Amino acid sequence: MALLQAHNLTAFYGDFQALFDIDLSLEAGETVAIIGANGAGKTTLMRSLSGVLSNAPEAIVFDGHPIGALPADAVMAQGLAMVPEGRRLFPSLSVEENLLIGTYGRKVDGQWSLDSIYDLFPILKERRHNPGTALSGGQQQMVAIGRALMSNPRVLLCDEISLGLAPVVIRDIYAALPKIKAAGASVIVVEQDIGQAMKVADRVYCIMEGRVTLTGRPHALSKDAIHAAYFGEALA
Amino acid sequence: MEITVETRTSASRISGVVFLVLIATAVVLPAFAERGLIQDLFFIFTMLVLAQWWNLLAGYGGLVSVGQQAFVGLGAYAMFGAVILWGLDPIPSILIAGLAALLLAIPTAFFAFRLQGAYFAIGTWVIAEVVRLSVAQWKQVGGGTGTSLPRSATREMWFVESITTLFDVKSSAARDILAYWLALVLVVLTIGAIYWLLRTRRGLALAAVRDNPEAARAVGVDAGAMKWVVYLVSALGTGLAGGLIYVQKARISPDAAFSVLDWTAYVIFIVVIGGIGTIEGPIVGVLIFFILQAFLADFGSWYLLALGLIGIAVMLFAPRGLWGLFTDKTGIELFPVRRRLVVHSARDEVKKWLK
Amino acid sequence: MIWVDTVIQGVLLGGLYALFAAGLSLVFGIMRLVNLAHGDLIVLGAYLILILVSLLGLNPFVAAAIASSLMFALGWVLQRAVLNRTLGDDILPPLLVTFGLSIALQNALLEGFSADSQRIDAGALQTASLSLGPITVGVMPLLTFASAVLVIVALNQVFYRTALGRAFRATSDDPVTASLMGIKPANIFATATGIAMIVVTIAALYLGMRANFDPSIGPARLIYAFEAVIIGGLGSLWGTLLGGVIIGVAQTVGAAINPEWQILAGHIAFLIVLIIRPRGLLPRAVD
Residue among C93, C99, C111 minimizing CB distance to B305: C111
- The backbone torsions φ and ψ at residue C118, rounded to the nearest 5 degrees and listed phi first, read -125, 165
Contact with chain C for residue A128, Cβ under 8 A: no
In this structure, what DSSP letter does residue C217 have?
G
Higher pLDDT, B7 or B345: B7
Q: Name the residue among C259, C281, C269, C193 with its Cα closest to residue C224.
A: C269
pLDDT tens digits, B306-331: 999 999 999 999 989 999 999 888 88
Pairing type for strands A186-191 and A31-36 reads: parallel
User: pLDDT grade, residue C57 (50/70/90)?
Assistant: very high
Task: Give B272's contacts in chain C (Cβ within 8 Å).
Answer: 96
Task: Give A91's contacts in chain C (Cβ within 8 Å).
Answer: 173, 286
Residue among B58, B119, B304 minimizing CB distance to C103: B304
What does the pLDDT read at residue B202? 74
What does the pLDDT read at residue B351? 33
**DSSP assignment of B216-274:** HHHTT--HHHHHHHHHHHHHHHHHHHHHHHHHHH-EE-HHHHT-HIIIIIHHHHHHHHH
Q: Name the residue among B193, B180, B230, B232 with its Cα closest to residue B209.
A: B230
Contact with chain A for residue C162, Cβ under 8 A: no
Lowest mean pLDDT segment, chosen from B55-64, C60-69, C97-106: B55-64
**CA–CA separation, B126 and B133 (whole Å):** 11
In this structure, what DSSP letter does residue A69 have?
T
**Could you tell me which chain C residue has the CA closest to the CA of A105?**
C182
Which amino acid would we find at residue B154?
T
Task: Give C33's contacts in chain B (Cβ within 8 Å).
Answer: 118
**Could you tell me which chain C residue has the CA closest to the CA of B66?**
C99
**CA–CA separation, B112 and B64 (whole Å):** 11
- Chains in contact with A, where contact requires at least 3 CB pairs less than 8 Å apart: C
CA B134 from chain center: how many Å? 25
User: pLDDT grade, residue C1 (50/70/90)?
Assistant: low
A207 φψ region: left (φ > 0), alpha (ψ -120 to 50), beta (else) = beta
pLDDT tens digits, C12-46: 999 999 999 999 999 988 998 889 999 999 999 99
Whether B133 and C223 lie within 8 Å, measured CB to CB: no
A residues 152-211 lying closer than 8 A (beta carbon) to C:
none
Alpha carbon of C183: minimum distance to chain B alpha carbons (Å): 25
C-alpha distances in Å from residue A48, one per residue of A11, A24, A103, C36: 7, 12, 21, 38
User: pLDDT grade, residue B339 (50/70/90)?
Assistant: low
User: pLDDT grade, residue B216 (50/70/90)?
Assistant: low
Lowest mean pLDDT segment, chosen from B109-123, B259-273, C15-29: B109-123
Question: Is pLDDT above 90 for C209?
Answer: yes
* Beta-carbon contacts below 8 Å between A and C: 70
**Could you tell me which chain C residue has the CA closest to the CA of A51?**
C180
Instruction: Count the alpha carbons within 13 Å of B25 in the hemisphere toward its beta carbon.
Output: 8
- The mean of the pLDDT values for chain A is 93
What torsion do the CA atoms of A112, A118, A121, A125 make, to the nearest 10 degrees?
150
Please say whether the beta carbons of B226 and B69 come within 8 A: no
Mean pLDDT over C83-110 rounds to 92
User: pLDDT grade, residue B342 (50/70/90)?
Assistant: very low
**Could you tell me which chain C residue has the CA closest to the CA of B312?**
C97
H or E stretch at A32: strand A31-36
User: pLDDT grade, residue B3 (50/70/90)?
Assistant: low
Contact with chain C for residue B136, Cβ under 8 A: yes
Question: Is pLDDT above 60 for B352?
Answer: no
Alpha carbon of B11: minimum distance to chain C alpha carbons (Å): 29
- Chains in contact with C, where contact requires at least 3 CB pairs less than 8 Å apart: A, B
Residue B355, classed as helix, strand or coil, is coil
Alpha carbon of A159: minimum distance to chain C alpha carbons (Å): 13
Instruction: Count the alpha carbons within 13 Å of A158 in the hemisphere toward its beta carbon.
Output: 32
Q: Name the residue among C111, C132, C149, C140 with its Cα closest to residue C18.
A: C149
Judged by 3 or more CB pairs under 8 A, whether A touches C is: yes
pLDDT tens digits, A131-173: 988 999 999 999 999 999 999 999 999 999 998 899 999 999 9
User: pLDDT grade, residue B336 (50/70/90)?
Assistant: confident
Contact with chain A for residue C158, Cβ under 8 A: no
User: pLDDT grade, residue B46 (50/70/90)?
Assistant: very high
CA B150 from chain center: how many Å? 28
Which amino acid would we find at residue C69?
S
Task: Give A50's contacts in chain C (Cβ within 8 Å).
Answer: 180
C-alpha distances in Å from residue C240, one per residue of B110, B164, B188, C23: 23, 61, 47, 10
Contact with chain A for residue C285, Cβ under 8 A: no
What does the pLDDT read at residue B220? 66
Whether B308 and C260 lie within 8 Å, measured CB to CB: no
Angle at B13 between CA B12 and CA B18, to 5 degrees: 90
Q: Name the residue among C110, C105, C96, C106 with its Cα closest to residue B264.
A: C96
CA B47 from chain center: how many Å? 6
What percent of chain B has a predicted confidence (pLDDT) above 90? 61
Task: Give C173's contacts in chain A (Cβ within 8 Å).
Answer: 90-93
C35, C44, C95: best to mutate for the B interface, most B CBs within 10 A? C95
Whether C226 and B308 lie within 8 Å, measured CB to CB: no
Q: Tens digit of pLDDT per residue, chain A (236 long)?
A: 799 999 999 999 888 899 999 999 999 999 999 999 888 899 999 999 999 999 999 999 999 999 999 999 999 999 999 999 999 999 999 999 999 999 999 988 889 999 999 999 999 999 999 998 899 999 999 999 999 999 999 999 999 999 889 999 999 999 999 999 999 999 999 998 888 889 999 999 999 999 999 999 998 888 888 888 888 876 65
B residues 335-354 lying closer than 8 A (beta carbon) to C:
none
Question: Is pLDDT above 70 for C67?
Answer: yes
Whether C179 and A131 lie within 8 Å, measured CB to CB: no
Please say whether the beta carbons of B210 and C92 come within 8 A: no
Contact with chain C for residue B193, Cβ under 8 A: no
**DSSP assignment of B182-227:** HHHHHHHHHHHHHHHHHHSHHHHHHHHHHH-HHHHHHTT--HHHHH
Instruction: Please give the radius of gyration of chain A, using alpha carbons only, rounded to the nearest integer.
Output: 17
Judged by 3 or more CB pairs under 8 A, whether C touches B is: yes
* Beta-carbon contacts below 8 Å between B and C: 121
Whether C91 and B122 lie within 8 Å, measured CB to CB: no
Which amino acid would we find at residue B43?
F
What does the pLDDT read at residue B348? 37
**Could you tell me which chain A residue has the CA closest to the CA of C287?**
A92
- The mean of the pLDDT values for chain B is 87
**CA–CA separation, C195 and C189 (whole Å):** 10
**CA–CA separation, A17 and A12 (whole Å):** 4
In this structure, what DSSP letter does residue C133 have?
T
Which amino acid would we find at residue B294?
A
**CA–CA separation, A141 and B60 (whole Å):** 43
Mean pLDDT over B105-126 rounds to 90
Residues near B297 by beta carbon (within 8 Å), at least 6 away in sequence: B303
Alpha carbon of C13: minimum distance to chain B alpha carbons (Å): 19
Q: Model pTM?
A: 0.90
Helices (H), A35-121: 42-49, 72-78, 95-100, 114-120
Whether C177 and A88 lie within 8 Å, measured CB to CB: yes
Question: Is pLDDT above 70 for B346?
Answer: no
Enumerate chain C positions whose Cβ falls within 8 A of a Cβ in B.
28, 32-34, 36, 82, 85-86, 91-97, 99-108, 110-111, 219, 222-223, 226-227, 230, 260, 263-264, 267-268, 270-271, 274-275, 278
Q: Name the residue among C98, C16, C73 with its Cα closest to residue C196.
A: C73
Which amino acid would we find at residue C171?
T
Task: Give C96's contacts in chain B (Cβ within 8 Å).
Answer: 64, 268, 272, 311, 315
